[in-house]
A and B are shown apart, each in its own frame.
Chain A
Amino acid sequence: MKLESLKAGALSLVFLAVFLGIWHLATLPKAESQGAVDEYARLMGKGAKKSDGFPTLEQMREAFVTHISDPFYDRGSNDKGIGIQLGHSLGRVALGYLLACLVAVPLGFLIGMSPLLNQALNPFIQVLKPISPLAWMPLALYTIKDSGASGIFVIFICSVWPLLINTAFGVASVRRDWLNVAKTLEVNPLRKAFAVILPAAAPTILTGARISIGIAWLVIVAAEMLVGGTGIGYFVWNEWNNLNLTNVIFAILVIGVVGMLLDFLIAKLQQAVTYVE
């Protein structure tokens, strides 16, 4: 087992090295004709450091160092450090996600316990589930009349469905025997819900929660690119305006890492509630 994971780690490193090697070779600077820099060439930015085209590894390293070394600077409302941007994004995700949990879990319980409700609501859920966050945005902006709240609403509306469906499914598939035992002991409904159904359905609910947090994190980037102002999505958008690919790639990596951490967090939680029958 130990050996296996060592091998896997080594292989991961090899893949990374190959990937970086290809990147390096592909972005080797082309030999530019070294003539006198005339005025036209100067206006076109020849000779100066230009940040267009695919960045080299050296440029990427520089970007990492500058962003990581000073993550919390604040130079006015449109230029803040990567740490502050991430903070804004995480705050929005937390709010939207919390709202989604508050709605989805109780509603999922109801739906799971009543086959009638389940069938009645199913068509609505199926229609609303696949709608893209970008499609919700104009409607939200128009009706809520506040871009910050719209962003949170969009996270809510997109991350609520997996949680709702999984909760309903988990609750509906609690083993009959356990419910029957509860019935024989004449447990009141509230106690039944918390002492029998919740622990039994918890692993399924948390699977839904894990999918939902992934979606919430996907949505925030799109929403912030659209609404702007603050956040990691705005950062990507702002650097895209400047056609600065180095910073865009840096942001992509940051988004990936943070997403992974969020997923890891819920996965730990899921392990804690998993039981062996």
Chain B
Amino acid sequence: MENQTVEIFRIQFVAIAVSAGMMAFVFELIRRKKLREKYSLIWFAAGIVMIVLSVWRDLLDRVAFLLGVGYAPALLFMVALGFGALLMIHFSVVISELTEKNKTLAQEIALLKQELKKNKNS
């Protein structure tokens, strides 16, 4: 019985450490200007949710019961996967934005190059 308690405590500790480590890493990336604050929010949100679920084990059990998930840790995977999917959609949006801006930029360059050449010749 005592052994089991220790093991539960251990996995909790690992989960908290990994989540906190991830958040620290994201924080460090922002500090070094490798990551924009705008794109870090979703990472912090994921980290906080994982820490809350790790610390407050009872919450996970209760939500799992509410949703009808028989095996509570499966809910943890579901939440993690959900965040993963959300992040990827977020990236698709960002990439689409960049593509659109990149296109406009290329068009402007073509128009400006022609303008410049015309002015040089005249």
A binds B: no
List chain B positions with a Cβ less than 8 A from chain A: none
